Chains A and B, each alone.
Chain A
Amino acid sequence: MYGFEALTFNVHGGYLEAIVRGYRSGLLTAADYNNLCQCESLEDIKMHLSATEYGPYLQNEPSPLHTTTIVEKCTLKLVDEYKQMLCQATEPLSTFLEYITYGHMIDNVVLIVTGTLHERDVQELLEKCHPLGMFDSIATLAVAQNMRELYRLVLVDTPLAPYFSECITSEDLDDMNIEIMRNTLYKAYLEDFYRFCQKLGGATSEIMSDILAFEADRRAVNITINSIGTELTRDDRRKLYSNFGLLYPYGHEELAISEDIDQVRGVMEKYPPYQSIFSKLSYGESQMLDKAFYEEEVKRLCLSFEQQFHYGVFFAYMRLREQEIRNLMWISECVAQNQKSRVHDSVVFIF
């Protein structure tokens, strides 16, 4: 019953909620980011990070350091924390935590299939996969020639199986089809996750619905902008939009027929929550759109911590960590390539 979660949530979820809130207090603050932005080399970054919670993960790395190593070790920390939470969780929290990783699974599947298409080595691709999205038979993805085989050989045993019903065709895999496959899978995943949260009810469903609706709308805008000028037809584009969210259904109708960014802006400015995002961009500019969306997402994720006794904090924590890793990657790349003036272009402060 909504409003009375406080009475029974702590039986199964109290300990883990307290743990995830403890993890949250270890996120890097604006002061940390300022220190990192002023570093001259990757060694400086490693030194600053060793004073934070990333210390134990980076201290054994030999110099010279690469940016990919830093990102890999930071991701390892996230994976460790996730696994600690997952092994202590009971139903339905364990299912909820697993849902968080399906997005990474989809990304890994697409990475391996694309890499195989471009004749890359399977081992090399496996190393690039996100550790949260690994599953047992992932290496066999390199063998599949078309989607039906992909499904039959590998994916039918994974949690992604139900998302494939809409995109099984016998066509051979090429770049366009793979992108469409990725977006169709992600659409099915988001809708499934949304339904699961609705079933959980209470504060979890309210908070997660808001976050997932924003995610669905953001993906709709990104799909629209990325497919302007490509051979993706309007109907195909329309099929890739999720069927929930603030933009559903009228915004989707308008987005499907947009042909340039200003038309997209016109559509989005009719929705007050997105108007503030688009007002930060001047006309014709789309590079800052990503950062504006990330900032809005971070704001909503931080707000989910204001309420107690729901599962949204777990999702929010994972997303905030991922944002932090993105920030660290950007800062490391800027420092490594001596482009420190552009450091603040893409860093989103969490606190």
Chain B
Amino acid sequence: MVGSSSSWSTALVKISPYTFASIGIAISIGVSVLGAAWGIYITGSSLIGAAIKAPRITSKNLISVIFCEAVAIYGVIVAIILQTKLESVPSSRIYDPESLRAGYAIFASGIIVGFANLVCGLCVGIIGSSCALSDAQNSSLFVKILVIEIFGSALGLFGVIVGIIMSAQATWPSKG
């Protein structure tokens, strides 16, 4: 065992790796959806107001909302992948280093995906709001601002890629 029996490191190590893994899965879906929802309301409120004067912008600017929605979908996909990585180990082996490693890997993967999607959703939402307002005034601006949004939504994708790589090494000790 690491350290003496009443130090912080012992306390951390004694938390079951399943706790960490489950929290990771919760964060991955929960915080991603938070980011997506935040972005959608930022874009949506501006889009509705601007479309009163310029109704032509509605169909094109739904792309911004779709980009924000994609962020939530990334979170769901990663959460499903992560939960398939959860396996049962016999209780004698719960605190093996390999178990701990698997638990922490799933936790980290969840945090990576969750927070990357949070800021990505925010970014795409704010740009989408400005895009709707600019498009209402001058329709040639839409495509140019869309390029900025595409770069913004790539951030979520980076998070998903790293998260999946992290979770790929989450191997629990085999039984026996």
Contacts of A11 in B (CB 8 A): 41, 45
Provide the bound-state CA to CA distance between A18 and B38, in Å.
18
B58 within 8 A of A: no
By a CB distance below 8 angstroms, the chain A residues around B49 are 14-19, 21-22
* A25–B50 CA distance with the chains assembled, in angstroms: 11
Chain B residues within 8 Å of A308, by CB:
129-130, 133
Does A10 reach chain B (CB closer than 8 Å)? yes
Task: Verify if A26 is at the interface (C-beta below 8 Å from B).
Answer: yes
Which of B45, B47, B133, B137 gathers most chain A CB within 10 Å?
B45
Complex CA gap A25/B53 in Å reads 9
How many Cβ-Cβ contacts under 8 Å join chain A to chain B?
62
Distance (whole angstroms) from the CB of B122 to the closest CB of chain A: 7
B126 and A6 contacting across the interface, CB-CB below 8 Å = yes
- In the assembled complex, the Cα of A308 lies from the Cα of B48 at a distance in Å of 16
When the two chains form their complex, are residues B46 and A14 in contact, meaning their CB atoms are under 8 A apart? yes
B110-131: which residues lie under 8 A (CB-CB) from chain A? Answer: 122, 126, 129-130
B50: which A residues are within 8 A, CB to CB? 18-19, 21-22
Q: Does B105 contact A (CB under 8 A)?
A: no
Point out the residue from B38, B53, B129 that lies within 8 Å of A26, measured CB to CB.
Answer: B53
Contact yes or no, A18 B41, CB < 8 A: no
Asked if B165 is an interface residue, CB under 8 A from chain A, the answer is no
B36 at the interface (CB under 8 A from A): no
Q: Measured between C-beta atoms, what is the minimum distance from A20 to chain B in Å? A: 8
Any chain A CB within 8 A of the CB of B54? yes
CB pair B129–A10 under 8 Å, yes or no, is yes
State which of A6, A14, A16, A22 has its C-beta within 8 Å of the C-beta of B54. Answer: A22
Q: Which residues of A contact B150 (CB under 8 A)?
A: none
Contacts of B122 in A (CB 8 A): 7
The number of chain A residues touching the other chain, given as a range, is: 10 to 19
In the complex, which residue of chain A has the Cβ closest to the Cβ of B138? A25
Per the 8 Å Cβ criterion, residues 15-47 of A in contact with B are 15-19, 21-23, 25-26
Contact A15 B53 (CB under 8 A): no
- Measured in the bound complex, the distance between the Cα atoms of B51 and A21 in whole Å is 11
B132 CB-CB contact with A under 8 Å: yes
Report chain B residues within 8 Å CB of A6.
42, 126, 129
Minimal Cβ-Cβ distance residue in B for A11: B41
B29 at interface (Cβ–Cβ under 8 A)?
Answer: no
Q: Which residues of B contact A10 (CB under 8 A)?
A: 41-42, 45-46, 129
> In the assembly, what is the distance between CA of A21 and CA of B138, in Å?
12
Instruction: Say how far A280's CB is from chain B's closest CB, in angstroms.
Output: 30
Give min CB distance, A174 to chain B, whole Å. Answer: 49
- Indicate whether A21 sits within 8 Å of B137 (C-beta atoms), given known contacts A10-B41, A14-B46: yes
**Residues in A whose Cβ lies below 8 Å from that of B42:** 6-7, 10, 14
Closest-CB distance, B19 to chain A (whole angstroms): 31
Write out the residue numbers on chain B whose beta carbons fall within 8 Å of the beta carbon of A15: 45-46, 48-49
1/0 contact string of B15-54 vs chain A (CB within 8 Å): 0000000000000000000000010011001111110111
Cα–Cα, bound, A195→B53 (Å): 34
Let me know if B136 is at the binding interface, CB within 8 A.
yes
A53, chain B: closest CB distance, angstroms: 10
In the bound assembly, the distance between CA atoms of A205 and B82 in angstroms comes to 47
Query: CB-defined interface of B123-163 with A at 8 Å, one 1/0 digit per residue?
Result: 00010011011001100000000000000000000000000
- The complex places the Cα of A253 from the Cα of B133 at a distance, in Å, of 45
The answer to whether B53 touches A22 (Cβ under 8 A) is yes
Shortest CB distance B87–A (Å): 39
B166 to chain A minimum Cβ distance, whole angstroms, is: 28
User: Are A18 and B126 neighbours in the complex by a CB distance under 8 Å?
Assistant: no
Residues on B with C-beta less than 8 A from A21 are: 49-50, 133, 136-137
A18 to B61 Cα, complex, angstroms: 14
Contact B46 A18 (CB under 8 A): yes
Across-interface contacts of B38 in A (CB, < 8 A): 7
Smallest CB gap from B137: residue in A: A25
Q: Is the CB of A22 within 8 A of B52?
A: yes
CB distance A19 to B45 under 8 Å? no
Is the beta-carbon distance between B137 and A18 smaller than 8 angstroms?
no
* B47 CB to nearest chain A CB (Å): 7
A6-B39 Cα distance, complex, nearest whole Å = 10
C-alpha spacing A192/B42, complex, angstroms: 31
Q: How far is the CA of A19 from the CA of B53 in the complex (A)?
A: 8
A297-328 vs B, Cβ < 8 Å mask (1 yes, 0 no) = 00000000000100000000000000000000
Chain B nearest CB, measured from A304 CB (Å): 14
For the A-B complex with A21-B133, A26-B53 known, give 9 more contacts whose Cβ atoms are closer than 8 Å.
A6-B42, A6-B129, A10-B129, A11-B45, A14-B46, A15-B49, A16-B49, A23-B53, A25-B137
- Return 5 A-B CB contacts under 8 Å, by A number: A7-B38, A10-B45, A14-B45, A21-B50, A21-B133
> Top 6 nearest A-B pairs by Cβ distance?
A18-B49, A22-B53, A14-B45, A18-B50, A15-B49, A19-B49
